[in-house]
Amino acid sequence: MSVVIVAPGQGSQTPGFLTPWLEDPAFADHLGELSEAAGLDLAAHGTTSDADTIRDTAIAQPLIVAAGLATLRALLGDAAEARRAGLAGIAGHSVGELTAAAGAGILAEGDAMRLVRERGTAMAAAAAEVATGMSAVIGADEAELLNALAQLGLEPANFNGGGQIVVAGELPALEALRERPPAGARVIPLQVAGAFHTRFMRGAVEHLRRVAAELPAADPTVCIWTNRDGSTVAGGADFVELLVGQVASPVRWDRTMASFAEAGVTGIIELAPAGALTGLAKRGLKGVPTAAVKTPDDLAAARDLLDGAA
């Protein structure tokens, strides 16, 4: 078997999702280290903070990356070296690219947490300049949708595959799209506080480029795919440059999944807070086994999938 690990993006978090994980002292200690690097109490945000608090971009992004890194360590466990040997690679959706970068050895975990804290803060600041948001459009003809977006001043933000495209822009324009959707399409507002992966984030890109330039980047130890176009990237510095630029350009998860298929991937494991990417895989990579690591109870099935590839 050929298994890939994927890391989710913003919007996958839910209140209290880390509660069962923190019963493991090793997990709690690891999360504490990641919290210190980010300068946030991520244990509190993953257990007692409410939905509005963890919707805040500056909190949500470090929380998601830390959850992914901590569950990745728990997944690999004592057999980390052997299980890594069985990996086809790793990829992340949007902010999950930082999880993937650390998981592939491009960035040290502490540096990934510092960069994601800067990313979340910079994107929150950019989002505060204009009232913007994002909506998922399901079932639309792509050409018809892109034409409608151009007329409304909206942009495609995430091409997620399986008939789903997330669009972003100013709130009145999103409401107009919801009221007059393309034929046969549904428009679902998302609980995110900004037009991520669009022109509205250009200021955040410049800030992040300066921050990232100060961080050492090693070449990946496992195959890693970029959201830019679904291709693999061999250079660590190149991958970091791409993930910085991705803040203001569309996430092509559809192309990433197409690359998985071309690479012969036969299993997908999604790190916490899991569910969104395995859901997309069930539609875009039909028949490929998936494991969503939502709680510690899901580790056994995920390890079975991974061990079968080693």
Least confident of 47-51, 124-128, 304-308: 304-308
- Which domains are assigned to the chain? 3-126+198-307 (3.40.366.10), 132-189 (3.30.70.250)
The 10s digit of each residue's pLDDT in 211-220 is: 999 999 999 9
Q: Is the pLDDT of residue 310 over 70?
A: no
Q: Check residue 273 and give its pLDDT.
A: 98
Q: Assign 119 a pLDDT band (cuts: 50, 70, 90).
A: very high
**197 catalytic, yes or no?**
yes
Rounded to an integer, the average pLDDT of 65-92 is 91
93 is catalytic: no
Model pLDDT, residue 258: 96
Bridge partners (DSSP) listed for residue 290: 268
Catalytic residue selected from 49, 197, 249, 259: 197
- In angstroms, the CA 269 to CA 278 distance is 8
pTM for the full model? 0.95
pLDDT tens-place string over residues 121-178? 999 999 999 999 999 999 999 999 999 999 999 999 999 998 999 999 999 999 999 9
Catalytic one of 12, 49, 94, 249: 94
Query: What pLDDT, on the 0 to 100 scale, is given for residue 1?
Result: 62
| pLDDT (0 to 100) of residue 80 | 81
The overall average pLDDT reported for the chain is 95
Please give the Cα distance from 204 to 195 (Å, whole number): 12
